[in-house]
Structure 1
């Protein structure tokens, strides 16, 4: 009997681990290329308690963000995470309409390659959910967070509960 592959947890950054918007905050954090923990006050909004919680889920953590490798240089250290693999995403093509597929969706399904996965992002629509349901053979949780709040401890609890419900290998 072979063990089931570990689920993947795809992590977005902007609006997910790095909240933006809300009272007194800009509507978007801007390009990641110029950010360091010391130079950008928005990085203080990253909840450092999330790193151990995410690590404890038993998933393969993977960046799914326009930050690409820069997430390992800036965000991972803030969360106390080691460098993570980065999903091979197409170039960011801008925001989409509510009735369009998100720019990451196809790439994440391809990267998951039939493994169960969780995708945490602030931009997930019904079209994305339908695409994953139709084109991905394993269970998938597409968990959308509010960008002005970002990922919270209760969100991690939802993810943990979903992971516990996955069928065991057999």
Structure 2
């Protein structure tokens, strides 16, 4: 199966890959930190990069999809995060200016751009800011061919998230 027949998986970074926002009561010892076999952060890298579990890289690569960065990190995701996770360079969504009309309707500023980027291909989107308005808009424009999966930013990607993704992506292979 070629890459163009696989569903897309749009990856946000802050929240899904870099967990944040838990209280001291929820995580009394703070967030776990990791070391990567593939990459050592440079001095100018985000100090939060060590919160990213490098084991997510092989798990993401094993999913039946084409991975795409959908993050404000933009191309820095390939410079800093891909090596940390052991991922190849991935395509990056370049963002258009959000429409004030979309913002008034409660849409996330990424929603329409991801729909356009997918160009009719099935896609899954991992983000911590997905709302009911985003679900309704995508369902009206691409029914049944998109999975908008909200990740709890306090925990980042979990085994349950990977299970949901794997199941949905296998159902939507070309």
TM-score range, shorter chain: 0.7 to 0.9
**Aligned residue in 2 for 1:69:** 75
Q: Does 1:43 align with 2:49?
A: yes
- Inter-partner Cα distance in structure 1 for 2:118 and 2:170: 19
Relative to the length of structure 1, the TM-score reads 0.81
Tell me how far apart the structure 1 counterparts of residues 98 and 3 of structure 2 sit (CA, whole Å): 35
Which SS does the other structure have where 1:103 is aligned? coil
Residue of 79, 83, 97 corresponding to 2:85: 79
What secondary structure sits across from 2:95 in the alignment?
Answer: coil
Is contact 1:66-1:92 (8 Å) kept?
no
CA distance in 2, matches of 1:76, 1:92: 27
Partner of 1:142: 148
TM-score, length-normalised on structure 2? 0.79
What is the root-mean-square deviation of aligned Cα atoms in Å? 2.9
Greater than 4 Å deviation, 4+ residue runs:
96-99
Aligned residue number for residue 13 of structure 2:
13
**Local SS of the residue matching 1:19:** coil
Alignment of 1:83-94 (within 5 A): 83-91=89-97
Q: Is the 8 A contact 1:19 1:147 kept in 2?
A: yes
After superposition, give the CA deviation of every residue in 1:97-141 in whole Å (9 maximum; x if it has no partner).
896100000000000000000000000001100111111256111
After the TM superposition, which residues 156-167 of structure 1 pair with which residues of structure 2 at under 5 Å, given as runs? 156-166=162-172
Structure 1 residue 154: Cα displacement: 2.1
Per-residue CA deviation, residues 22-55 of structure 1 (Å, 9 max, x unaligned), is 1359xxxxxxxxxx82444321110111111111
1:114, 1:137 within 8 Å by CA — same for their partners in 2? no
Q: Residue 128 in 1 paired to residue 166 in 2?
A: no
SS at structure 2 position matched to 1:120: strand
Distance 2:171 2:42 in 1: 40
- Which sections of structure 2, spanning at least 5 residues, go unmatched? 28-39
Q: Distance in 1 between matches of 2:86 and 2:4?
A: 27
In 2, Cα distance between the equivalents of 1:103 and 1:19?
A: 21
Shift of 1:151: 1.1
For 1:4 and 1:65, the matched residues in 2 are separated by 21
Matched residue of 1:157: which SS?
A: helix
Distance 2:120 2:50 in 1: 36
